[in-house]
Amino acid sequence: MNQTRTLAIDIGGTGIKAALLDDAGSMIGERQRVPTPPKPVSPEDLVRAIDEVAAPLGTYERVSVGFPGYVRDGRVITAPNLGTDALAGFDLQSVLAEHLGKPVRVLNDADVQGFGAIKGQGLEMVLTLGTGAGTALFRDGEILPHLELAHHPVSGNKTYDQYIGNAARKRKGKKAWNKRVAKVIDILREVVRFDHLYIGGGNAKDITFPLPPDATIVPNTDGLTGGIRLWQKDPTAYAAADAPGGGAAAEPEGAPARNQVP
């Protein structure tokens, strides 16, 4: 039986990763990585970088993309670590599908990582630690509406991004940063009442304190392998993750729709 190969792409604030997945979601060959273009990242720069990271991987039949921001129906709403002003309204899903000549599905990167990490039991939460902080929620394996908790105040006037993002880790040092991450885990437990928390992202490796029994560090590669789940269900199943409350996705005020690369 012929395998359907999926090109999985994980767009981050500092690097764009890609790998080919087989039907089971296992990687075929080596993962590729290129630097994320300098901020603000234009649609043209983003598509060019995706071309570059995918070039060594060979042929594929479909594409999954994890994007670091709020995405609705494949269209970028916010992209704080890439440049919202440059990308808001950009229909990444449609543009990539036309550019690559393959079907494409785009979802928030923490949501995609969650698909690679969760067990599908109870209320499971994902916390990603990278350039910023990302979150995703799942109930019995089903994705719940995406909330950009990263931009909600967590300590004084600081958002989660500002409190435990990479800039804070560098500025405060690992010891103080670890204390902050431990505090955030406690806060999320009180607010969300998760059954289990999965911690991923490039900075998860810098956690030095003993994790509680209801928290686990997961491989960063889950942000790629989770991409297979985007093709294992009806695409309308992800409407809940894209648009809280259901209905059509609203454009950010004043943001033009962009359906092609300039």
**Residue 2 pLDDT:** 77
**Residue 6 pLDDT:** 98
pTM of the shown model: 0.87
Q: Are 48 and 10 in contact (CB under 8 A)?
A: no
Instruction: For residue 69, count other CB atoms closer than 10 A to its CB.
Output: 23
pLDDT tens per residue, range 151-160: 899 998 999 9
Give CA torsion, residues 92, 146, 12, 187, to 10 deg: 170
How far, in Å, CA of 28 to CA of 4, rounded? Answer: 12
Q: What CATH number is given for 120-219 in this structure?
A: 3.30.420.40
pLDDT tens per residue, range 204-249: 999 999 999 999 999 989 999 999 999 987 655 565 566 544 333 3
Angle subtended at Cα 166 by Cα 162 and Cα 171, rounded to the nearest 5 degrees: 80
Domain spans, the chain: 6-111+223-242, 120-219
Q: What CATH number is given for 6-111+223-242 in this structure?
A: 3.30.420.40
**Coil, helix or strand for 86?**
helix
Q: Beta strands 27-35 and 62-67: pairing type? A: unpaired
Radius of gyration of the chain (CA): 17
How far, in Å, CA of 21 to CA of 29, rounded? Answer: 9
Mean pLDDT of 64-91: 94
- To the nearest whole number, what is the mean pLDDT of the chain? 90
Mean pLDDT of 95-109: 97
Percentage, residues of the chain above pLDDT 90: 81
List C-alpha distances in Å: 75 to 70, 132, 259. 9, 20, 9
Task: Judge whether residue 255 has pLDDT over 60.
Answer: no
How far, in Å, CA of 226 to CA of 9, rounded? Answer: 10
